[in-house]
């Protein structure tokens, strides 16, 4: 025995029991914008960015308005705020997208939409509508969408070429303001001068004021008139390879907040010894 399929007729004969009062409906959102409130857009980035804001409002006379703003933000990983003054209304939806157009490929942009009467620093924000990392194809939106904190996600992977130190000087790289790094690998070379000495290369991590909390290094000497390549990376087993290339294990995980540094400390370094610029891979989060 087969079941009897429901016919269109069966559906049509059901009488509606729920009525909608569309003339006196309440707005489907809780974002009321009073006469003294503003919509604030927060942006934290690792390169100058343009954030486009699309919003829909329910006005007091029942009209629904759509508006769009393009806001330019300077490079700053710390929070920057721009104010959008609105009339009294209910916000129906807000979407933010970082649509910066330039040649940079790894722009990281953390954005938020906030309703507040004052500049919405930590103590003033009345209502955070949405927040998260946005790229050219990923909008952050409210009331639907996914909110992300600035660190509860995979960071952006970056390759950086650091500073070439002067002859006889050490490598030193600093985590930028309002950034958090996980150092995955560091690669550089050292060319030693003819001065007779045993050089031993170490990499130290400090808090930016000189307090070293971790260090790692090779267990062999580099003598005069040689060029050795050094690789420091998470996942390497101990120290291998005297010379070209050396592979040294980095402490893992090595999370560094703003202004912390990694730098070489070379036992026996001579005035004419020369390091190449370090090339390093990091995972970066913004800390607005």
Partner 1 sequence: MNKFQCLACGGVYYDQSPEGIPYAHACAPLPADKKNPERERPDKRDENIVIATGGKLMGIKSEGAGVTCLTSDTINEPKWISAVNKAVAAREEKENA
Nearer to partner 1, 74 or 223 (CB): 74
Q: How far apart are CA 35 and CA 48, in angstroms?
A: 32
Binding mask 37-66 toward partner 1 (x if CB under 8 A, else -) reads: ---------xxx------------------
Nearer to partner 1, 50 or 54 (CB): 50
Nearer to partner 1, 48 or 143 (CB): 48
Contact 146, 95 (CB under 8 A): no
- Sole binder of partner 1 in the list 59, 64, 66, 75 (CB under 8 A): 75
- Sole binder of partner 1 in the list 172, 216, 221, 234 (CB under 8 A): 172
What are the angstrom distances between the C-alpha of 85 and each of 70, 81, 127, 134, 138? 14, 13, 15, 23, 25
Closest CA to 38 of 94, 76, 100, 78: 94
* DSSP per position, 84-139: EE--SEEEEEEEEEE---SS-S---EEEEEEEESS--STTT-SEEEEEEE-BTTB-
Query: Shortest approach of partner 1 to residue 18 CB, angstroms?
Result: 48
Residues 216-275 that bind partner 1 (CB under 8 A): 258-259, 261, 263, 265, 269
Query: Shortest approach of partner 1 to residue 219 CB, angstroms?
Result: 21
Does residue 287 interact with partner 1 by CB under 8 A?
no
Q: How far apart are CA 74 and CA 77, in angstroms?
A: 9
What are the angstrom distances between the C-alpha of 75 and each of 78, 108, 151, 187, 282? 9, 11, 19, 27, 19
Nearer to partner 1, 92 or 112 (CB): 112
Nearer to partner 1, 56 or 82 (CB): 82
First to last CA, the chain: 66
DSSP assignment letter at 170: P
- Partnered with residue 178 across adjacent β-strands are none
Query: Shortest approach of partner 1 to residue 185 CB, angstroms?
Result: 15
Query: Shortest approach of partner 1 to residue 274 CB, angstroms?
Result: 11
Does residue 158 interact with partner 1 by CB under 8 A?
yes
Nearer to partner 1, 148 or 258 (CB): 258
Does residue 121 interact with partner 1 by CB under 8 A?
yes
Furthest-apart CA atoms within the chain: distance in Å: 99
Peptide bond just before 243 cis, omega within 30 deg: no
Q: Which part of the chain contacts partner 1 (CB under 8 A), choosing from 1-9, 21-29, 103-111, 244-252? A: 103-111
Site for partner 1, rule CB under 8 A: 46-48, 74-81, 102-107, 119, 121, 158-167, 169-174, 176-178, 210, 258-259, 261, 263, 265, 269, 277
């Amino acid at each position: 025995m087969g079941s009897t399929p429901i016919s269109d007729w069966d559906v049509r004969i059901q009488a509606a029991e729920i009525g909608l009062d569309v003339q006196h409906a309440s707005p489907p959102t809780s974002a009321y914008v009073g006469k003294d409130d503003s919509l604030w857009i927060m942006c934290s980035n690792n390169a100058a960015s343009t954030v486009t804001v699309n919003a829909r409002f329910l006005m007091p006379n029942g009209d629904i308005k759509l508006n769009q703003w393009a806001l330019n933000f300077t490079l700053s990983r710390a929070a920057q705020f721009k104010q959008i003054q609105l009339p009294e209304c209910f916000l129906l939806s807000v979407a933010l997208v970082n649509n910066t157009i330039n040649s940079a490929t790894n722009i990281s942009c953390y954005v938020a939409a906030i309703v507040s009467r004052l500049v919405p620093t930590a103590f003033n924000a009345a209502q955070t509508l949405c927040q998260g990392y946005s790229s050219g194809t990923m909008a952050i939106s409210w009331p639907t969408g996914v909110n992300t904190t600035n660190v509860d996600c995979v960071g952006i992977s970056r390759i950086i070429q650091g500073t070439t130190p002067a002859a006889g000087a050490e490598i030193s790289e600093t985590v930028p303001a309002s950034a958090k790094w996980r150092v995955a690998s560091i690669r550089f070379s050292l060319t030693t001068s003819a001065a007779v000495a045993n050089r031993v290369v170490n990499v130290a991590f400090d808090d930016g004021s000189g307090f070293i909390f971790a260090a790692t290094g090779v267990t062999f000497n580099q003598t005069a008139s040689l060029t050795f390549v050094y690789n420091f990376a998470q996942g390497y087993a101990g120290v291998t390879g005297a010379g070209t290339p050396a592979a040294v294990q980095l402490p893992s995980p090595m999370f560094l907040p703003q202004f912390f540094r990694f730098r070489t400390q070379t036992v026996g370094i001579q005035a004419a010894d020369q390091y190449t610029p370090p090339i390093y891979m990091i995972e970066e989060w913004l800390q607005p």
